[in-house]
Amino acid sequence: MRRVLLLAVLAFAGCGGDSRQDADEPSGDFKVEVVDASFPRVQHIAESVELKIKVRNGENDESLRNVAVTVETKPRGEDAALAFGRNVRGAGLSDAGRPIWVLDEGPMGGDVVTVNTWSAGQLGPGQEKELTWKVVPAKAGTYEIAYSVAPGLTGTARAAEGKTSGRFTVVIRDEPVPARVNNDGEVERIRDAG
């Protein structure tokens, strides 16, 4: 009986709700751009860092309902790109995706159904918005993170020519962040460590 009740609750929860995220997406070319982006070039295992990408609805006369930002770690070979991870080959893996960074917190209100894309929401003409991902490096090495902005989620609205993408090459070091405990019992980072 409990199983039937649980299934009924889950089925009811999936019905109705808000309108589709791609509803009313305009078609055509729209000027959207990446205004600024930052991500520490050298990171340490278990150090909390932030990826920040600021986007703008460019020279358009109308608001764009769902400006989308895609983040991908450069894959190896023919593997699919993942947002903050890579595919690992091996027998018996039910999911080949493994994190390079653990996503601690994504952009507020930016979740969409695509796992490597977030919504900046509606942006009026000339309006900007900064999206922030709080991540924790989990695997040492050198990686390339690419990002891009689009005027919509489905591809019906396409980005016009301009600065719509970029990339970072990041080194994640195996050793932890150089730090010490001060006289007040607080952990402080040692700035002069190489």
Q: Is the pLDDT of residue 187 over 60?
A: yes
**81, 72 in Cβ contact below 8 A?**
yes
**pLDDT given for residue 13 in this prediction:** 44
Task: Judge contact between 33 and 161, C-beta under 8 A.
Answer: no
**5 located within any domain:** no
Is the pLDDT confidence value at 12 over 50?
A: no
Q: Which domain holds residue 119?
A: 28-178
Mean pLDDT of 74-87: 84
Calpha distance 32→30 (Å, rounded): 6
Written as one string, the DSSP assignment of 71-137 is EEEPPSTTPPPBSSEEE---TT-S--EEESEEEEE--TT-B-SSTTEEEEEEE-TT-EEEEEEEEEE
Query: Is 72 inside a domain boundary?
Result: yes
pLDDT of residue 52: 98
128 within a domain of the structure (yes/no): yes
Segment 19-32 mean pLDDT: 71
Quick check: is 139 in a domain? yes
In a domain? residue 48: yes
CATH code, 93: 2.60.40.10
184: in domain? no
Q: How far apart are alpha carbons 122 and 128 in whole angstroms?
A: 10
- The answer to whether residue 183 sits within a structural domain is no
- The CB density around residue 1, as the number of other CB atoms within 10 Å, is 5
Q: Are 103 and 83 in contact (CB under 8 A)?
A: yes
In this prediction the pTM is 0.78
What does the DSSP 8-state code read for residue 18?
S
Structurally, the chain folds into a number of domains equal to 1
* Per-residue pLDDT tens over the stretch 102-161: 999 999 988 888 889 999 999 999 999 999 999 999 999 999 999 999 998 877 878 888
Residue 138 to residue 98: CA distance in whole angstroms: 10
Q: Which two tokens stand for residue 47?
A: 């150090």
Q: Is the per-residue pLDDT at 25 higher than 90?
A: no
The gap from C-alpha 184 to its chain's centroid, in whole angstroms, comes to 37
Whether residue 153 is contained in a domain is answered as: yes
